[in-house]
Amino acid sequence: MRLRTLLLLFFLFFFAGLGWAQESAEEWFKKGIEAAEVENYEKAISCFEKTIALHPDHVPSYSNIGYIYVTQNMWNEAIDVYKKVLTITPNDARIHHDLGFSLYKKVIFDEATIELKKAIALDSKFASAYENLGVVYAQKEMFDEAILMFKEALRITPNDPSTHFNLGRAYKAHGNDILAADHYCQAGILYLKEDNRDRAIKAYEKLLPCSKEIAVVLFKKLYAHKGASDLTTPLPPQKKDQWYVLLTRMNVRKGPDISSKILGQPEKGAEFQIIKEAPNNTPFCSWYLIRTKSGFSGWLCGIYKGSAKYKPAATSNAPSPPPNQDQQ
């Protein structure tokens, strides 16, 4: 945990730098660490401020306050704190980076670029500074520069999934789908190794429009624990009168798109027929135009994130077809 590591390092620095006369400051700093570790940030800030009152140039206390503001998305406050710290220690690469990141979150891109470049000048192995400078360049649509920064970050930390993801996004914006797909795929695999399945799925969703062939590689790793019949292909109608049953309550929409108007919400166990499939269906996301027993029709996302939301109805339970079923 980055906060814990920083806090402990700062804690050691604090004790080495203060004499016995500052024992009360040490105690406030220790209390601030303990409060921050249990995410009692209001108390932590109060304790660090008391430390600063006794030791006005204590960089670790300022830095910890700034980091807490970052975790709370309080960017203006974080910027003010980091600027204050740099008046005390102007050559701290980490502080320049954190200030640059906070400026980026406030969409102050030019100043963010300056601070991140300063961090890199002070520490040429600072991978996060390269990556975040790449993110700023990408936001400014300077994709050549962004790609160079992401590559430099990967030279230092080759197995960082977020950098691969960002590089994939930059290549996609630059018009290179194959390289984008390659880095999205690497990002997804690395996220899986970190047990971050949500981010791996996000990488797959970005990868799929770039290259369906490369997407298959990540798809198989995402669902390696399931049988092929569960997810590799949508469940097509075996015959015209085949009926299916919903495994969960689902929205039925006007069109085959998540942003389309919701027409209704059939309950779990509702039975329906598939009239036709959407033309761009994939093993990961598939839409079907359905018709329920009552004659209600609309588009259903029957395969979502590789998981089928329905199954064939048992023959004995299949309802009789509705009247005029061919007139749709």
Six-digit token pair at 179?
Answer: 């390289």
Neighbours of 298 (CB within 10 A): 22
Q: Which candidate, 57, 164, 292, places its Cα nearest to that of 172?
A: 164
Amino acid at 279: P
- Strand residues in 26-90 grouped as ranges (E): none
* CA separation for the pair 230, 283 (Å, rounded): 10
* CA separation for the pair 220, 225 (Å, rounded): 9
Domain ranges of the chain: 2-222, 231-317
Phi-psi region at 324: left, alpha or beta (left = phi > 0; alpha = psi -120 to 50): left
Q: What is the pTM of this model?
A: 0.67
Same fold, 2-222 and 231-317: no
* Inter-CA distances, 219 with 93, 198, 222, 233, 274, Å: 39, 13, 5, 12, 25
Q: φ and ψ at 235, to 5 degrees?
A: -90, 100
Neighbours of 62 (CB within 10 A): 25
* CA separation for the pair 273, 319 (Å, rounded): 10
* CA separation for the pair 198, 186 (Å, rounded): 15
Amino acid at 252: V
User: Any idea which architecture 2-222 has in CATH?
Assistant: Alpha Horseshoe (1.25)
End-to-end CA distance of the chain: 58
Output the tens digit of pLDDT for each of the chain's 328 residues: 444 444 444 554 444 444 434 458 888 999 999 998 999 999 999 999 999 999 899 999 999 999 999 999 999 999 999 999 999 999 999 999 999 999 999 999 999 999 999 999 999 999 999 999 999 999 999 999 999 999 999 999 999 999 999 999 999 999 999 999 999 999 999 999 999 999 999 999 899 889 888 888 898 888 776 544 444 444 444 455 788 899 999 999 999 888 889 999 999 989 998 988 888 777 678 889 998 887 888 999 988 877 788 888 875 444 444 434 333 3
Continuous segment of H or E residues that includes residue 277? strand 271-277
Q: What is the DSSP string of 196-220?
A: -HHHHHHHHHHHTTT-HHHHHHHHH
Amino acid at 222: L
Model confidence pLDDT, tens digit, residues 191-249: 999 999 999 999 998 998 898 888 888 988 887 765 444 444 444 444 557 888 999 99
Continuous segment of H or E residues that includes residue 257? none
Contact 186, 200 (CB under 8 A): no
3-state secondary structure string across 88-133: HCCCCHHHHHHHHHHHHHCCCHHHHHHHHHHHHHHCCCCHHHHHHH
* CA separation for the pair 138, 144 (Å, rounded): 9
- The fold of 231-317 is SH3 type barrels. (2.30.30)
